Amino acid sequence: MVQFERLRHTLAPHLAAASACAVLILGVGMGLPAAAAPQKFLGNIIAAHIPPNFNTYWNQITPENSGKWESVEPVRNQMNWTSLDLAYQHARKHGFPFKQHAFVWGSQEPRWIGDLSDKQQAREVEEFMRLYCKRYPDTQYIDVVNEPLSKPPSYAEALGGVGKTGWDWVIWSFQKARQHCPSAKLLINEYSIIDNAGRLGLYVGIVELLKARGLIDGVGIQAHHFSMDTVSTATMRTNLDALAKTGLPIYVSELDMTGDDDTQLARYREKFPVLWTHPAVAGVTLWGYIEGQTWKPGTYLVQDDDVERPSMVWLKEYVRQNPQAVTIQPSKGSAPAGKP
């Protein structure tokens, strides 16, 4: 708690983007004044189009697939920014924080990357980062590396491999992202952290390496159904507390839960408050909400005829009644960003 209080007074810059977001299920969308909006965001994904009711529920945007390298550059040197432009411009128009997902990930890589030399691979990764941040300079958050434990990229050796630290390729990725995207908050992202102490320990180790070099501003944890449906609230709190000890804010990403109406509602009522009220959690992003448009069938919150499921009805009211402030803000670390 002492650490939390010490960090509280430096919170304002970190919260500027979030507090500017007056739309949300508890902001303009519910007829409340802008000042009533919480400082934590509640976001969702955008794919190839903007759902007409998106702004009714959410005030942060992550592109579902259009920010992934394979989607942007399926053919070498032929960039496709169309869907990413759509999501980014919607975020800018409405003052929503925008998170790029993701720069380096072992899934959805361009197929042509495997045909290149190590030197060429590293150059192409850096080019992707540079072109992205030149085109989208107002991006607030970036998942620099997605799933380092679960799905390292095929070209990891080209970025330094394990090296001296065991994670040199991750460090290289963050160094380049910091160089080309200096105004964005840089995040890492991984699944099965909220429910797995062993993976949590490995993940914290990577985070500490990055923090010591001043390269990371927040920690992302995926909250997919395969973790959230069965994890206990006690385990959730324990693991969130452990992540909070890094001194970095936590960004809950890719939240979804399955079940029929009654089961899904019970899960949201039990587990969402643990995420939303934790002092280190800076925001929560769900992974889809419309029937027929979610990654996992059965996780939707709104039917395709716009009728809200009980979980959505509850979620709107809960967040409206429970505005939350973030206690921990990003720290640039004590070491210079260029430290190897």
Positions marked catalytic: 147, 254
Dist. CA 257–CA 228, nearest whole Å: 6
**Contact indicator for 258, 22 with CB cutoff of 8 Å:** no
Give the ranges where the chain is alpha helix by DSSP (H). Answer: 2-8, 12-19, 54-57, 69-72, 82-94, 118-135, 168-180, 197-212, 225-228, 233-244, 261-277, 310-321
Phi-psi region of 325 (alpha: psi -120 to 50; beta: other; left: phi over 0): beta
d(CA 247, CA 208): 10
DSSP, collapsed to helix, strand or coil, labels residue 308 as strand
SS3 (DSSP) at 295: coil
- In angstroms, rounded to a whole number, what is the distance separating the alpha carbons of residues 283 and 251? 5
